[in-house]
């Protein structure tokens, strides 16, 4: 459903905790021959990414300044597409929904993932307890759209369950009205992504050195206080990575919305990526769609850059 | 002591309850995939059917979508691309974290930026490019694009992994006279084996489930990945019944589920091995 | 880098990309991925009869498919045969001057009675024909016979008041009279009510000569709203397949193309005993003939196709009764060829009625409306279904898109 790396897969790996043994002195920046060796190691990956992802995107960048129906040759229209985009009456709701996705997915799947990791960490049969949360990721793809259709549709399984429990919402048509449609799709997404985040947090928890934890325990810290004063700060670099990746994924939210509501009814659950697809492919206005894509990409890039810059600084400060 | 017991209980209770909630959609999936194709009824989705239709449904989906012919190439893509990606990603991570290439952060952003571009907009230019370079409808072409989309994640994970490895290891190995390539291949890569596995598994799942690139960049049944065939089952024009769609989806998730479950322990442990 | 290069080289060796002229196997690109087994059946048949086998290359997402075909025109990887849509989509494609002229196939087909005269206009541009019908479907009402019997209805309605009376009777028995959905097929009732009221307005709307805010269109929306208010429709927010709704009997009638028959059969219903079909009567008696919406997917060939002669040979074979009979009956659908007998008696009857003298065919709204307007309209109709009182606002939204489109086209 989502690009690799986009959802919540992250850099796990080894982390030095403050006060842990220093990893040895680092050399300064490489110069001359050394730097060329490093570039040699980098270039295969960089070349593949540049040729297969950036180069095709360049085509989109050029098209965004044209009017193009896919058949006759593109006509240069300068900034017209961007002007049209910023005056689209549905832009407001598209941005609003995208923001809901950003907030929702950086809070819910990340928060629940953390909770599940903390609760199941170090207990007997922990991986058994985590299993239900891992299944959705493995099952992703075909069938899930149908299942969530069952659940969220008018009079669907969600209404059944809420009714049986005498909770409000038994008669809410979740997909028919904003904001319920966006919110319920965020819930579906949470179901899919929580497990992966939990796993990453597990990895983070396992890489926390035992000494500071033991020391704090001896000082009488426990439960929430232990978490807040020791675990949480030590987990911070990983949290930033998980949140950062969730950010990229949420800004690009497309599949789940397209499968469930196609952005409707009446464009009410559209996200920016859905707007892009709708304009480019459904309306066949590739120039305009490309302009939306460019705006979306620049926004996502700016947010990602800000986040990762921060992460790197944090790490360097620690390391 | 009593406090301990209460915490012991609460932890498991919360996990159990949340876990059961998480299993509800899975339950609906299983029950309705197992229903005979013609006895699906929306008002009875909660109740299992007394007749088991699962295997008939699978056979029906398998035949009408022609799933068999795509399996071999789908396995090729899901194994070859992440396999190459983790090696290239590890090399990049090694260059940034260990060799400390100049402007390392920007090199890193260059690689990670690959996840930022919207996939849908790449399809047409990729098709045009593939057509003019004779990569269209080639298995190699698909391996290449899946490699490209797999690299950002691999590079990201490996960079962070190597950052945590003590630099003294690098120095010691160099002191022994090993070339940089040898240090990477013989020392760093084996150290990272479990992290490499983890990335591999996640990317396997992604490629296995990809539909877009497969549809646009290939045409022959034996080159096209399996999701392109599977997706044809859910169509207004002659699509299959809900139980057939679900059962076929279920059986096609099996490789991912098995890989995922089989390696779950390794997964959690593996990533944590990076401590030195 | 060597790794990648070697791998790429090794792998480009496999995979098939057949080239050159004088083909014995044609690739048929289509957006009806689920019809693969039927295409394959026809491919086997054509191989034995004319020595040309055909293999389908199926897509499931129409939008990606169209973008792909358009792009392929600029590459060496041109499709042999491909399916398309009628209306503006076909016109745009033909204006590139890349589509092969099929005028001779048409004149010959009409002479032999293989192709119906009334379809010809939809394949004609500047008095030349392009493509041949891949399929044809008439938009008729499917009804559950048990529900009708339970509501005491013995014969399908023949006029609008009869239909409304039947709907009321069905509702009184607790059935939802009509199927409705807010996703993709949200235009169906707009189309039916408009052609049944003012077919001329329908056509002028499609060509930009009338506005969505015109009184005639507003009146149609008001009628649609009043039918919703009377509770004559199933829940548009249900994701339950229309065939499943018909099967459980919860929804009594479904207005869709005749291809819906395939889904009903797959769901395990029996034509004629479990369900029947009828042509929807006009709303007003203004038009002399009954208006029926139809759709036809063109099967096209490019002038510069890899082997144009083989394509022509195949298309000539495709339209004749032998091929069409297998094509239609295996899918349990109708054929564009009037000489083909449909095995399913109910389907045959309704197909006869739709092609008879008493009926005028109107091109489906989905094909007749230019893409950017259609996109806005589908969204607006789904918005209307979620909130029927918003119809004025929705019409204005569509008209904005229409103004924008007709300004530059």
- The DSSP result for B72-96, as a single string, is HHHHHHHHHHHHHHHHHHHHHHHHH
Would you call B66 an interface residue with chain C, using a CB distance cutoff of 8 Å?
yes
Strand C275-278 to C290-301 pairing: unpaired
Q: What is the mean predicted confidence (pLDDT) over C54-66?
A: 90
> C399 and C347 in one domain?
no
**Radius of gyration of chain B from its Cα atoms, rounded to whole angstroms:** 23
Same domain, yes or no: B72 and B56? no
Closest residue to A149, CB basis, from C239, C372, C397? C239
Chain B contact partners (≥3 CB pairs within 8 A): A, C
Asked whether the predicted pLDDT for residue B114 surpasses 80, the reply is yes
Angle between helices C199-206 and C215-229 (to 10 degrees): 110
Distance, first Cα to last Cα, chain C: 49
- Nearest CB among A44, A69, A278 relative to C375 is that of A278
Instruction: Flag if A262 and C383 touch (Cβ within 8 Å).
Output: no
State phi, psi for C298 to the nearest 5 degrees.
-75, 145
Q: State whether C244 and B242 contact (CB < 8 Å).
A: yes
- On whether both C96 and C203 belong to a single domain, the answer is no
CA angle B192, B196, B198 (to 5 degrees): 120
Look at residue A318 in the predicted model and tell me its pLDDT: 39
Q: C-alpha dihedral over C359, C363, C365, C369, to 10 degrees?
A: -150
Host domain of residue B50: 2-60
Q: Which helix (H) or strand (E) holds C58?
A: strand C53-58
- CA-nearest residue to A266 within chain C is C383
Q: What is the pLDDT of residue A24?
A: 42
The verdict on a CB contact (< 8 Å) between A47 and C92 is: no
Same domain, C251 and C381: yes
End-to-end CA distance of chain A: 36
Closest by Cα among A261, A240, A276, A92 to A183: A261
CATH of the domain at C160: 3.40.190.10
How near does any CA of chain C get to the CA of B68, in Å? 14
* In a shared domain, residues C258 and C371: yes
This prediction's pTM: 0.89
- The DSSP 8-state label assigned to residue B241 in this structure reads P
Whether a cis peptide bond, with omega within 30° of 0, leads into A179 is: yes
Give the pLDDT of residue C14. 41
CB < 8 Å to C262, chain B: 237-238
C-alpha C162/C-alpha C157 separation (Å) is 5
Q: How many domains does one find in chain C?
A: 2
Domain finish residue from B60, B76, B102:
B60
For the record, the structure tokens of C4 come out as 């990648």
> So what's the pLDDT on residue A22?
38
In chain C, the residue whose alpha carbon lies closest to the alpha carbon of B62 is C37
Chain B nearest-CA residue for C19 = B134
SS3 C144: strand
- Nearest-Cα distance to chain B for A270, in Å, is 16
3-state secondary structure of A75: strand
Q: Closest Cα to residue B232, out of B63, B22, B11? A: B63
| CA terminus-to-terminus distance, chain B | 35
Q: Under a CB-based contact definition with an 8 Å cutoff, are residues C147 and C252 in contact?
A: yes
Q: Please, are residues A179 and A100 in contact by the beta-carbon 8 Å criterion?
A: yes
Distance from CA of C374 to the nearest CA of A (A): 8
**Range in A310-314, B110-114, B260-264 the model is least confident about:** A310-314
> In terms of domains, do B224 and B92 share one?
yes
Residues 48-107, chain C, touching A (beta carbon < 8 A): 63-64, 66-67, 70-71, 73, 92-93, 95-96
The answer to whether residue C403 is domain-embedded is yes
Report the C-alpha gap between A140 and A133 in whole angstroms: 12
Q: B106 in a domain, yes or no?
A: yes
| Of the residues B15, B36, B60, the one at which a domain ends | B60
Q: Is B119 found in the same domain as B27?
A: no
Looking at the structure, do residues B51 and B85 belong to the same domain, yes or no? no
pLDDT tens sequence across C128-157:
999 999 999 999 999 999 999 999 999 999
**Distance from the C331 Cα atom to the nearest Cα atom in chain B, whole angstroms:** 8
One domain, residues C331 and C403: no
Does the pLDDT of residue C21 top 70, yes or no? no
Domain final residue pick, B60, B80, B107: B60
3-state SS of chain A: helix, strand, coil percent to 5? 65, 0, 30
In a domain, C108, yes or no: yes
Testing the interface with A: which of C60, C180, C379 to mutate, by most A Cβ within 10 A? Answer: C379
Residue count of chain C: 409
Specify whether C240 is located in the same domain as C389.
Answer: yes
Q: Which helix (H) or strand (E) element contains residue B225?
A: none
Residue C186 in tokens: 């949200």
CATH code, A81-318: 1.10.3720.10
The mean pLDDT value for B242-258 works out to 90
**Closest residue of chain C to B228, computed from CA coordinates:** C59
Best probe of the A interface among C182, C366, C405, by most A CBs < 10 A, is C182
CB C316 within 8 A of CB C132: no
- Classify residue B275: in a domain, yes or no: no
Structural domains of chain B, count: 2
3-state DSSP assignment of residue B263: coil
Chain A interface, Cβ < 8 Å to C: 43-44, 47-48, 69-72, 89, 149-150, 153-156, 173, 175-177, 261-268, 277-278, 280-286
Contact C31, B231 (CB under 8 A): no
Q: Name the least confident of A112-116, A217-221, B125-129, C118-122.
A: A217-221
> Are B94 and B224 found together in one domain?
yes
Q: What is the pLDDT of residue C66?
A: 93
Q: Tell me the pLDDT of chain A (319 aa) as tens digits.
A: 333 433 333 333 333 433 333 344 455 555 567 889 999 999 999 999 999 999 999 999 999 999 998 888 899 999 999 999 999 888 999 999 999 999 999 999 999 999 998 898 877 777 788 889 988 887 866 678 888 988 999 888 999 999 999 998 888 899 999 999 999 999 999 999 898 888 778 767 776 777 777 787 778 777 778 888 888 887 776 677 678 778 899 999 998 999 899 998 999 999 999 999 999 999 999 999 999 999 999 999 999 898 888 776 655 543 3
Does residue B268 form part of some domain? no
CB C266 within 8 A of CB C149: no
The ipTM of this complex is: 0.89
Interface test with C, best of B65, B81, B189, B219 (most C CBs within 10 A): B219
Question: Is B50 domain-assigned?
Answer: yes
B173 in a structural domain: yes
Contact assignment for A266 to C387 by CB distance below 8 Å: yes
The answer as to whether C34 is a domain residue is: yes
Identify the CA nearest to C345 among candidates C362, C366, C323, C329: C329
Cβ within 8 Å, pair C70-A71: yes
Secondary structure of chain C: what % helix, strand, coil (to 5)? 50, 15, 30
Element (H, E) at A62: helix A55-63
Q: State whether B157 and B207 are in the same domain.
A: yes
Identify the CATH number of the domain in which residue B198 sits.
1.10.3720.10
Taking the CA of residue A178 and the nearest CA in chain B, the distance in Å comes to 23
> Taking Cα atoms as reference points, which of C122, C75, C129, C123 lies closest to residue C101?
C129
Classified as helix, coil or strand, C112 is: helix
Are A265 and C386 contacting, i.e. CB atoms less than 8 angstroms apart? Answer: yes
Chain C contact partners (≥3 CB pairs within 8 A): A, B
Are C161 and C240 members of one domain? yes
Q: Which of A88-97, A308-317, C294-303, C386-395 has the lowest mean pLDDT?
A: A308-317
State how far residue C175 is from chain B, nearest Cα, in angstroms.
14
Name chain B contacts of C296, Cβ cutoff 8 Å. none
Q: Looking at the complex, report in whole angstroms how far the Cα of residue B12 sits from the nearest Cα belonging to chain C.
A: 36
Residue B170 lies in a domain: yes
- B151 and B45 both lie in a single domain: no
Interface of C with A in 175-204 (CB under 8 A): 182-184
Are C182 and A150 inside 8 Å of each other by CB?
Answer: no
Asked if the model's pLDDT at residue C38 lies above 50, the reply is yes
pLDDT in tens, B210-230: 888 998 999 998 999 998 888
Contact C347, C69 (CB under 8 A): no
Mean pLDDT, to the nearest integer, of C5-29?
Answer: 59
Token pair for B120 = 């849908």
Same domain, C59 and C113: yes
Residue A219 CB neighbours (<10 A): 11
If asked whether residues B38 and B121 sit together in one domain, one would say no
Residue with tokens 């479907």: C137
Residues of B in Cβ contact (< 8 Å) with A2:
206
Name the helix (H) or strand (E) containing C359: strand C359-363
Full DSSP string of C246-270: HHHTSEEEEEEETTHHHHHHHTT--
Closest in C239, C375, C384 to A282, CB measured = C375
pLDDT band at B17 (very low <50, low <70, confident <90, very high): very high
Q: What is the mean pLDDT of residues B238-267?
A: 84
pLDDT for the residue numbered A227: 84
Domain presence at residue B32: yes
Determine the distance in angstroms separating the CA of A145 from the nearest CA of chain B, rounded to an integer: 10
In this structure, the answer to whether residues C220 and C338 fall within a common structural domain is: no
Which residues of A72-203 form beta strands (DSSP E)?
A: 75-76
Decide if C3 and B84 are in contact by the 8 Å CB cutoff.
yes
Kindly report the length of chain B. 276
Tokens 């994970």 locate to: B157
Q: Give the residue numbers spanning the domain of C161.
A: 139-293+364-408
In a domain, B262, yes or no: no
Residues of chain B above pLDDT 90, percent? 52
Burial B103-135, CB ≥16 within 10 A → b, else e: ebeebbbbbbbbbbbbbbbbbbbbbbbbbeeeb
Chain A contact set for B147 (CB, 8 A): 48, 52
Same domain, B80 and B137: yes
Q: How far is A87 from chain B (nearest CA, A)?
A: 22
SS3 B15: helix
Q: C76 vs B64: CB contact, 8 Å cut-off?
A: no
List the single residue in C with minimal CA-CA distance to B85. C4
- Judgement on whether residues B54 and B182 belong to the same structural domain of the protein: no
Q: How confident is the model at residue C13 (pLDDT cuts 50, 70, 90)?
A: very low
Is residue A240 within 8 A of residue A252, CB to CB? The reply is no
Q: Provide φ and ψ at C321, rounded to 5°.
A: -55, -35
A-C contacts at Cβ under 8 angstroms: 89
């Amino acid at each position: 459903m989502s690009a690799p790396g986009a959802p919540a897969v992250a850099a796990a790996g080894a982390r030095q905790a403050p006060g842990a043994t220093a990893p040895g002195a680092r050399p300064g920046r490489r110069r001359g021959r050394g730097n060329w060796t490093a570039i040699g190691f980098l270039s295969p990956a960089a070349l593949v990414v540049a040729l297969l992802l950036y180069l095709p995107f360049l085509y989109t960048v050029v098209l965004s300044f044209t009017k193009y129906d896919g058949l006759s040759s593109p006509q240069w229209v300068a900034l017209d597409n961007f002007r049209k985009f910023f005056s689209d009456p549905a832009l407001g709701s598209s941005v609003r929904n995208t923001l809901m996705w950003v907030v929702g997915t950086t809070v819910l799947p990340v928060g629940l993932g953390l909770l599940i990791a903390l609760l199941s960490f170090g207990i007997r049969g922990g991986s058994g307890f985590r299993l239900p949360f891992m299944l959705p990721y493995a099952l992703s793809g075909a069938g899930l759209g149908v299942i969530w259709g069952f659940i969220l549709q008018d009079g669907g399984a969600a209404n059944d369950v809420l009714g049986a429990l005498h909770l409000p919402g038994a008669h809410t048509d979740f997909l028919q009205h904003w904001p319920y449609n966006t919110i319920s799709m965020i819930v579906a997404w949470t179901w899919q992504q929580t497990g992966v985040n939990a796993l990453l947090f597990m990895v983070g928890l396992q890489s926390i050195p035992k000494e500071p934890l033991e020391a704090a325990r001896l000082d009488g810290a426990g439960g929430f206080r232990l978490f807040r004063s020791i675990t949480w700060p030590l987990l911070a670099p990983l949290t930033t990575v998980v949140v950062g990746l969730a950010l990229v994924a949420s800004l690009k939210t497309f599949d789940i919305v397209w499968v469930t509501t196609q952005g409707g009814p009446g464009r009410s659950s559209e996200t920016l990526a859905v707007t892009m697809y709708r304009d480019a492919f459904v309306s066949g206005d590739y120039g305009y769609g490309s302009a939306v894509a460019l705006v979306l990409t620049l926004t996502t890039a700016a947010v990602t850059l800000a986040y990762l810059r921060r992460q790197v600084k944090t790490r360097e400060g620690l390391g | 002591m009593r406090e301990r017991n209460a915490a012991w209980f609460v932890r498991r209770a919360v996990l159990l309850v949340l876990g059961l909630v998480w299993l509800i959609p899975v339950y609906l999936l299983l029950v309705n995939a197992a229903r005979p194709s013609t006895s699906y009824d929306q008002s009875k989705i909660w109740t299992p059917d007394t007749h088991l239709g699962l295997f008939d449904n699978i056979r029906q989906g398998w035949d009408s979508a022609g799933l068999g012919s795509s399996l071999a190439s789908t396995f090729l893509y899901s194994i070859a691309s992440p396999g190459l990606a983790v090696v290239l990603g590890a090399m990049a991570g090694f260059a940034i974290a260990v060799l400390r290439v100049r402007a390392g952060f920007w090199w890193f952003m260059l690689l990670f930026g690959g996840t930022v571009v919207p996939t849908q907009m790449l399809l047409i230019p990729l098709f045009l490019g593939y057509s003019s370079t004779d990569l269209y409808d080639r298995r190699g072409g698909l391996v290449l694009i899946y490699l490209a989309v797999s690299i950002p994640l691999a590079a990201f994970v490996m960079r962070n992994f190597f950052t945590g490895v003590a630099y003294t290891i690098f120095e010691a190995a160099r002191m022994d006279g090993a070339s940089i390539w040898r240090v990477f291949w013989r020392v760093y890569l084996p150290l990272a084996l479990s992290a490499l596995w983890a990335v591999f598994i996640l990317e396997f799942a992604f490629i296995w489930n990809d539909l877009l690139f497969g549809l646009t960049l290939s045409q022959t049944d034996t080159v096209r990945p399996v999701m392109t065939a599977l997706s044809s089952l859910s169509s207004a024009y002659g699509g299959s019944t809900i139980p057939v769609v679900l059962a076929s989806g279920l059986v096609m998730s099996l490789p991912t589920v098995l890989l995922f479950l089989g390696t779950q322990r390794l997964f959690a442990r593996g990533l944590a091995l990076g401590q030195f | 880098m060597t790794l990648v290069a070697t791998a790429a080289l090794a792998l480009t060796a496999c995979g098939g990309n057949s080239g050159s002229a004088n083909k014995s196997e044609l690739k048929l690109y289509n957006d009806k991925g689920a019809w693969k087994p039927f295409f394959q059946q026809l491919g086997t048949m054509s191989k034995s009869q004319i020595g040309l086998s055909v293999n389908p290359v199926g897509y499931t997402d129409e939008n990606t498919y169209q973008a792909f075909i358009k792009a392929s025109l600029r590459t060496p990887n041109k499709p042999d045969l491909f399916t398309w849509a009628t209306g503006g989509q076909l016109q745009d494609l033909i204006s590139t001057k890349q589509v092969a002229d099929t005028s001779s196939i048409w004149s010959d087909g009409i002479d032999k009675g293989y192709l119906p005269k009334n379809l010809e206009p939809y394949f004609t541009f500047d008095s030349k024909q392009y493509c041949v019908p891949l399929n044809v479907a008439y938009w008729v009402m499917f009804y559950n016979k048990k529900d009708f019997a339970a509501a005491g209805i013995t014969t399908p309605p023949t006029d609008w008041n009869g239909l409304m009376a039947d709907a009321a009777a069905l509702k009184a028995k607790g059935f939802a009279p009509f199927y409705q959905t807010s996703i993709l097929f949200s235009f169906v009732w707009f189309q039916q009510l408009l052609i049944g009221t003012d077919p001329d307005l329908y056509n002028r709307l499609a060509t930009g000569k009338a506005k969505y805010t015109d009184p005639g269109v507003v009146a149609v929306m008001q009628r649609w709203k009043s039918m919703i208010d009377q509770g004559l429709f199933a829940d548009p927010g249900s994701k339950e397949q229309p065939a499943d709704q018909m099967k459980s009997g919860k929804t009594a009638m479904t207005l869709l193309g005749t291809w819906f028959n395939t889904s009903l059969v797959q769901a395990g219903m029996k034509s004629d005993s479990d369900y029947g079909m009828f042509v929807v009567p006009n709303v007003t008696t203004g038009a002399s003939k009954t208006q029926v919406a139809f759709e036809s997917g063109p099967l096209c060939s490019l002038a510069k196709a890899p082997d144009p002669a083989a394509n022509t040979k195949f298309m000539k074979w495709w339209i004749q009764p032998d091929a069409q009979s297998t094509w239609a009956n295996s899918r349990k659908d109708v054929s564009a060829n009037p000489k083909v007998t449909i095995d399913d008696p109910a389907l045959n009857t309704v197909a006869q009625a739709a092609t008879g003298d008493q009926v005028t065919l109107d091109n489906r709204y989905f094909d007749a409306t230019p893409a950017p307007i259609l996109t806005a309209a589908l969204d607006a109709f789904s918005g209307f279904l979620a909130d029927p009182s918003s119809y004025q606002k929705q019409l204005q939204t569509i008209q904005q898109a229409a103004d924008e489109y007709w300004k530059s086209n």
